[in-house]
Structure 1
Amino acid sequence: MVVDMRYCRVQPLGACTIALVFLQSFVFAGNQGQNEEYLCSTSHLDPSSAFSAKASSTITVAVASSPSSSPTCSSNATTFHLSDPPYENYFYSDCHSSSHVVVTSPLSNSNLEIIGPRLLIAWPAGNSGVVAFFEPQNGANGSLAIQLENSTTTGQTLDPVYIPSKSSSGTPRVGISGFINFNDSAVLTVPILGSIRTIRDFTEGPSILITYIQDAIEFSDISNGGVSLNRTWLDNSTTTYLDFIPAQSAGSIKINRAINTTLQFEAGTYQFAASFDYPQLEQLSPPEVLNSAAQGLIRQSPDQTTSLSFLSYTKKLLAGTWRFLTYFGRDSMLSLLLMQDILSEGSGGAIEAVIGAVLERVNRTDGSACHEETIGDYATYLNHLENVTSTAPQCDYKMIDTDYYLPIVLKNYFVNTPIGKTRSRSFLNTKATVLVENAGLTYADLALIEAEKIMNSSAAFAAERGQTKENLIHLKTGQIVGEWRDSTYGIGGGRIPYDVNTALVPAALRAIAKLAGAGFFPSHPEWNETADMYAKVWEDETLKFFEVTIPRQTAISLITSYINASSFPGPSHTSNITSDIIFHGLALDGNNDQPIIRVMNTDDCFRLFLLNTTNQPQLSAFLDQTAEHILQPFPVGLSSPVGLFVANPAFGGDAVYAANWTNAAYHGTVVWSWQLAMTAAGLARQLGRCNDTSSPIPDFCTNANLHNKILSAYTHLWDLIDANSAQLSGEVWSWVYNNGFQVEPLGALPPPPGSSPTESDIRQLWSLTFLAVQREEF
């Protein structure tokens, strides 16, 4: 991955040196015969910047901090470029809007069945966007290449679109413009205008489009050989526009209104503009999203801090871009847990934005926390499917793990921090406003509703003689997913996930006990003792249900079978197996009547990071097997030169394991950044207990061999992290084997049979946690 940080100070519109650029050639559909005004600012490199303008990293960043109804921004815009071939990612943010532009152009070695020329624009507001899929008009598949070019007027790759509303109370049209070059004649085959969810469903599903949504796209000829596309959303109010016009002597664009309307482009450069008139979010700038002690990170890590800002808003943090540009409860709370030390506190800060967003969306009926929020055009579509005419947001409550993070983040902030303690009363008295069904409830009410759910659902297992499989936490009825490995084969059809039962439940119970002790649940003061008692049982008695022990010779045989079934071309490393292989399976009650999903995995990180268990024999054994997995190379362990694989199916004993957990599977033999971060932070937490004089020193600290093994695993893990620093801010990455492991974008690989291709986000919120998680010395 190449990072080209072309940061620029974009001069505010209205300043004496500013030029208003009138793109006279653009005439918008619905305004035929009138030239609309695109307000684009000139820009320059600031020679006084502390960053010298050289190579691919240049000057400072200043981000607009608040929306404005005026075309003039008082703050500077931010632009940057991230290269991850075949994907080129461009970002633009100012006081009016934020945009992510993705240009996909196949490489010589690209799988042309899943990689094709594409222009995509994603907007955080409304989780909205547009996409245009292209193909060569006359040449062979793979011959068409597209790329963005800098404006000859402003010198920028992207410039803003701002068109004031004709009504004083209306919403202005905002968006982005740029220049796209085609190396040969091209056809725009499929445009999608409106929702990122619609685009995501199309690219990752069976490529089925909703007829009445697609048929609403209007195609119009405009002046100077251009074409305008627009679509009014299902709310009958918002409209998305995508316009193209020839530039630099390129030929006119032709509309082909055959069975499916397409556009025909000659080779050359065309200006595009994408815009919409939807209420925007209030973005947190890098200085606003970080606390005072972490301001230095803006200079030290400009890419990551600017990416964090792009995903951070005053009312919520977004999961990732482009595919998950909306609220995800699990993602935002996991990110908070790993980054709390650097995030801004108090009213208007990032921490309270995360916690408030989760509380707003708690299901008041059963206490479930919202996994994913659906807003904008897609929310109207889902409401329509239920015969409801409404633009109200919808929440996905099918996950079971999201519930357990909420008490932990509440405790970590409102009980453990000085500012949180002073903020708890006013914050918890806040009235919910996001979901109509939560009207009248305070954040304190919603926190209590969820805590009651956790206490009630954990009571049976904690009861005397209650430690049975039946009393563990199961996926919800009818669901095949329920925790972070939420793809079809993520946990192999298992009904009882490892991470939830062995780590999240006891950690949430410990947090509820602390919250109750601090007076957060006045109707349940007894929870300060009851929740702790429950937590101890869950900590000590759940691991045994998931333990897998494979004798040495059987393990060697299983790896040989796996290599044959998967055609893995690398070494087997079976000579490293000198004793039984021990790990904890992903889940219980899996597909094909499997009692346990025998996949070695990185989910040990949850216990490492969230719990300080005191069952000494169990803790020592757990740390020993965790360190072994980190130190051993795949397929014996989880280690590879591209990072730790989140799944190793080599010991499954059935060919279906090799088929379902591949290097092209979303939760297969691939690397997830945040799991590296949580594993590193978890090992540091456990090693740190050896120097903590406030509590008894764990036994492993005085076992020299074991302590050294854990420390070696920690060092090895950080060596892998440092070696893959170019990938760390992305969501997930994969590999190909060519005389060794080589990093490969997940979306560039053909998916397993029966699955759809999965494209990784170039920036994911929980993958920015290495801003806070750093190598420690022990």
Structure 2
Amino acid sequence: MLHLVSVGGLSLFGAVAATAAAAAAASTSNCSSAPVTLHLPDAPYDNFFYSDCNTAVQVVVTTPQPDSDLATISPRFIAAWPAGNSGIAAYFAPQDGANNGSLSIQIVNSTVGSPLAAIYRDDSSGSTPYFGVTGTLRFNSSASLTTPILGSIRTIRDFTEGASVLQPQIQDAIQASSLPDGGAGLQRLWLDNVTTTHLNFTPAATNGSVTIGDDNQTLNFDAGDYIFAAEFNYPQLTQLSPAQVLSNSSASLIQNDPERTAALSFLSYSNKLLAGAWRFLTYFGRDSMISALLLEPILSKGENSATEAVIAAVLERLDRVDGSVCHEETIGDYATWLNQGAGVVSTDPQYDYKMIDSDFYLPILMNQYFVQNSVGRSRTNSFSSITAGAINPANTNLTYGQLAVINAERILGLAAPFAGPDNQTQANLVHLKDNEVVGQWRDSADGIGGGRIPYDVNTALMPAALRAIASLSRNGFFTSSSSDWSSLADEYAQVWEDETLAFFRVTVPQSQAQQLVSTYTQTIAFTGPNQIDSIDGDVVYHALALDGSNNQSQVLVMNSDDCFRHFLLSNSNSNTNTNTTTDQTQLTLFVNQTANNIRRTFPAGLLTDAGMLIANPAYGTDPSYVENWTTGAYHGTVIWGWPLAMMAKGLEQQLGRCNQQGQQPDFCVDTVVYNNVKQAYNMLWDSIEANTAQLSQEVWSWVYNSANESFVATPLGVMAPPPGQSVQTESDIRQLWSLTFLAVTRNTTFGSS
């Protein structure tokens, strides 16, 4: 169920003092256009979005369902802002001592909001105004607000996804105070000694009341309706409207697909695009670049465009010392806390450079824009000459062009050892950074099974980045670099493209594969068919990584990461003027094995009624595979939206190569292989189209319904976490890179079923 509503310009001025708060009063907004709101139910979570000319905010209310695991699901209210990656979380419990499943909380339409309205009021000191949101919260029984968190989404994430630890320095600053009309509120002064967050509740009727607990940090409520007001005085971001995010030629999407374009707008700002709502309302380099690559046909181009916002955001945050791309920024209250922990009194952002895959997306994206797009080509000189701003103080004296060169030099330096004569050894592949256990998109603790040498980085991202550097160099982008980068990078790319797959290739003989799948099915007590009859030959796939845990030379988990190579190295998305694959035998085997693994249903392959799985551990013999890749694991036997989009687009591009005159790969004339790939493409799209309700989410899981003999899509947050993980990771209701289906659509040239 989905509601898209444009409401009138109702705003709320909550007159709140530092020690007490007065009653809020409605007033006309100063915005010239009506705000946009989204209501996205996804039980047990109910999501509301509000954005206008002043602010953007997401509110999430959690109410346990009859089948909820009360160890992981509890009544909760969250307000999350992109500005400062800021947030409020309030956990509730029934006052009568009953279990959490007896307490229901919900946001209801009222005279205050339909269901939400904005707060915007000037601060009496003349500093930053207060921004926020108000609405009516309904309790079905008496309740207590037991745990408040005010300040940063990162602080909330640490509590919800970690060991439920809260920092006394942050929590002890929360204070409660009484309000007029029987209300009460919580407030906290941030560590910057400037910003204050308020969360206030006022009874909507005369028979309700809010009282303060003995600890002066908790609140007690009678059953009934309460007007809440959540606000803080922190500078807001400049949001891009749907019309500003999309190209002129794609403007019809605003009317034809209003929900997804509104969600894309909510995550898009003038100086960066955000990864997801609510947990990742900040810059993530990998996420924004993958999104821009897949959204390219519809994303706005030119000065002040969404495309340039993505590229500029990455360059601004680049590590000028070694050319690494920032994975995640830490801003706002959490940055101040980290700085204090390091003995520094500062509100400056902090940048995370532990990932290795992010580095390679930058030249790929720049080549797509500054070489392959006519608008981008016209912007090359102007964009390259822009000097980095104050986002990252370390880069303020460097131009975007200089920062791009630093990144390219890093990639060429990493590529050189493996590309050298007779140097194609495992030791010369790209490894995770020292002392890091994650480094690419499967960045949970067991995402790549402890592997040190990731599959996607070495077989796809490195050669694609090298192709892009060669193309950018040929087209004069690196004006200050050596003129031989075009030939050198292409030479390196060919070696990496042709020689890396063999290190990761896994071949399981048919009989052994059938036995492994049969045993795995029994081990996990899977109630569906084991699908071993579909294993009609040797099973071939590529390991997630090399040098895994428990002395595993290869991490033996079938996976969806073939999509990177199909999308980034297919000729129709080429970064060079020649056919990018000279090893035709390898290409034929590669596209065929991908098709086989997509066509086969889990547990024999990757396909389910709920979508294509990102991992299938059935072919691994170590017990850790069953334990770590589960339906409740963040990177387990689950479905992510964007790999569906990248695989679909990648297979389309591979099939499209067969229509190119004079450049057809050998697999195009192999009828068996070509038809196999085409069938896999259509089966994948059938699955995608059957799960449109989930596609814009970050990740979802499944349960098997024996009665219907089907896999049923299920929110990840309600699944039991893997052994040893006490708290389940919650999925974002809207994720930037999952919105790429706005641009990735089925190509009926290759059939519709």
Residue 151 of structure 1: aligned partner: 110
After TM superposition, the structure 1 = structure 2 runs for residues 132-143 of structure 1, keeping only pairs within 5 Å, are: 132-141=90-99, 142-143=101-102
Q: In 2 relative to 1, CA 198–21 (structure 1 residues): closer, same or farther, beyond 3 Å?
A: closer
For residues 362 and 240 of structure 1, the distance between their equivalents in structure 2, rounded to whole angstroms, comes to 31
After TM superposition, the structure 1 = structure 2 runs for residues 515-554 of structure 1, keeping only pairs within 5 Å, are: 515-522=472-479, 523-554=481-512
After TM superposition, the structure 1 = structure 2 runs for residues 50-65 of structure 1, keeping only pairs within 5 Å, are: none
Is residue 467–residue 541 contact of structure 1 (8 Å, CA) maintained in 2?
yes
The AA in structure 1 aligned to 2:711 is F
Is residue 323–residue 409 contact of structure 2 (8 Å, CA) maintained in 1?
yes
Residue 95 of structure 1: aligned partner: 53
Residue 599 of structure 1: aligned partner: 557
Aligned pair 1:413/2:413, yes or no? Answer: no
For residues 124 and 236 of structure 2, the distance between their equivalents in structure 1, rounded to whole angstroms, comes to 18
For residues 765 and 737 of structure 1, the distance between their equivalents in structure 2, rounded to whole angstroms, comes to 28
Residue 761 of structure 1: aligned partner: 732
For residues 449 and 663 of structure 2, the distance between their equivalents in structure 1, rounded to whole angstroms, comes to 39
Is residue 62–residue 74 contact of structure 2 (8 Å, CA) maintained in 1?
yes
Residue 573 of structure 2: aligned partner: none
Residue 18 of structure 2: aligned partner: 30
**Per-residue deviation at 1:284?**
0.3
The AA in structure 2 aligned to 1:568 is F
SS of the residue corresponding to residue 650 of structure 1 reads: helix
Residue 671 of structure 1: aligned partner: 639
Residue 597 of structure 2: aligned partner: 629
Equivalent position to 2:275, from 299, 319, 328? 319
Residue 8 of structure 2: aligned partner: 10
Equivalent position to 1:701, from 668, 691, 702? 668
Residue 752 of structure 1: aligned partner: 722
For residues 397 and 564 of structure 1, the distance between their equivalents in structure 2, rounded to whole angstroms, comes to 42
After superposing the two structures, state which structure 1 stretch, 559-568 or 86-95, moved more.
559-568
For residues 265 and 339 of structure 2, the distance between their equivalents in structure 1, rounded to whole angstroms, comes to 31
For residues 404 and 554 of structure 2, the distance between their equivalents in structure 1, rounded to whole angstroms, comes to 34
SS of the residue corresponding to residue 326 of structure 1 reads: strand
Cα deviation, 1:214-247, whole Å, max 9, x if unaligned, reads 0001100111111111111111101111000111
SS of the residue corresponding to residue 318 of structure 1 reads: strand
SS of the residue corresponding to residue 618 of structure 2 reads: coil
Q: In 2 relative to 1, CA 662–491 (structure 1 residues): closer, same or farther, beyond 3 Å?
A: same
Aligned pair 1:736/2:703, yes or no? Answer: yes
The AA in structure 1 aligned to 2:419 is A
Compute the TM-score of the two structures, normalised by the length of structure 2: 0.96
Q: In 2 relative to 1, CA 250–443 (structure 1 residues): closer, same or farther, beyond 3 Å?
A: farther
SS of the residue corresponding to residue 511 of structure 2 reads: helix
Equivalent position to 2:408, from 438, 443, 451? 451
After TM superposition, the structure 1 = structure 2 runs for residues 359-370 of structure 1, keeping only pairs within 5 Å, are: 359-370=315-326
Cα deviation, 1:691-739, whole Å, max 9, x if unaligned, reads 122x511111111111111110001000000000000000000011221
**Per-residue deviation at 1:268?**
0.5
Is residue 29–residue 230 contact of structure 1 (8 Å, CA) maintained in 2?
no
**Per-residue deviation at 1:28?**
2.5
For residues 638 and 733 of structure 1, the distance between their equivalents in structure 2, rounded to whole angstroms, comes to 15
Equivalent position to 2:687, from 720, 734, 740? 720
The AA in structure 2 aligned to 1:95 is C
For residues 499 and 39 of structure 1, the distance between their equivalents in structure 2, rounded to whole angstroms, comes to 53
Is residue 29–residue 220 contact of structure 1 (8 Å, CA) maintained in 2?
no
For residues 347 and 279 of structure 1, the distance between their equivalents in structure 2, rounded to whole angstroms, comes to 24
Is residue 250–residue 270 contact of structure 1 (8 Å, CA) maintained in 2?
no
Residue 189 of structure 1: aligned partner: 146
Cα deviation, 1:150-175, whole Å, max 9, x if unaligned, reads 12355x1001101112244x111010
SS of the residue corresponding to residue 524 of structure 1 reads: coil
Is residue 148–residue 217 contact of structure 2 (8 Å, CA) maintained in 1?
no
The AA in structure 2 aligned to 1:516 is S
Cα deviation, 1:373-431, whole Å, max 9, x if unaligned, reads 11000111111111011100111000000000000011110111111111111111111
After TM superposition, the structure 1 = structure 2 runs for residues 234-253 of structure 1, keeping only pairs within 5 Å, are: 234-253=191-210
SS of the residue corresponding to residue 595 of structure 1 reads: strand
Residue 58 of structure 1: aligned partner: none
Residue 775 of structure 1: aligned partner: 746
Residue 469 of structure 2: aligned partner: 512
Residue 397 of structure 2: aligned partner: 440
Aligned pair 1:273/2:267, yes or no? Answer: no
Residue 494 of structure 1: aligned partner: 451
For residues 448 and 340 of structure 1, the distance between their equivalents in structure 2, rounded to whole angstroms, comes to 23
Cα deviation, 1:499-557, whole Å, max 9, x if unaligned, reads 00000000000000001111122321101000000000000000000001111111112
**Per-residue deviation at 1:645?**
0.5
After superposing the two structures, state which structure 1 stretch, 628-637 or 244-253, moved more.
244-253
Cα deviation, 1:643-663, whole Å, max 9, x if unaligned, reads 000000000012211110000
For residues 678 and 364 of structure 1, the distance between their equivalents in structure 2, rounded to whole angstroms, comes to 30
Q: Which runs of 5 or more residues in structure 2 are unaligned?
A: 571-580
Residue 466 of structure 1: aligned partner: 423
For residues 295 and 563 of structure 1, the distance between their equivalents in structure 2, rounded to whole angstroms, comes to 48
Is residue 494–residue 589 contact of structure 1 (8 Å, CA) maintained in 2?
yes
For residues 542 and 428 of structure 1, the distance between their equivalents in structure 2, rounded to whole angstroms, comes to 33
Is residue 15–residue 24 contact of structure 2 (8 Å, CA) maintained in 1?
no
SS of the residue corresponding to residue 674 of structure 1 reads: helix
Residue 662 of structure 1: aligned partner: 630
The AA in structure 2 aligned to 1:507 is A
Is residue 112–residue 134 contact of structure 2 (8 Å, CA) maintained in 1?
no
**Per-residue deviation at 1:36?**
6.0
Compute the TM-score of the two structures, normalised by the length of structure 1: 0.93
Where does structure 1 differ by over 6 angstroms across 4 or more consecutive aligned residues? none
For residues 7 and 201 of structure 2, the distance between their equivalents in structure 1, rounded to whole angstroms, comes to 27
C-alpha root-mean-square deviation of aligned residues, in Å? 1.3
Identical-pair percentage: 55
Cα deviation, 1:40-77, whole Å, max 9, x if unaligned, reads 45xxxxxxxxxxxxxxxxxxxxxxxxxxxxx5111221
Equivalent position to 1:290, from 223, 236, 246? 246
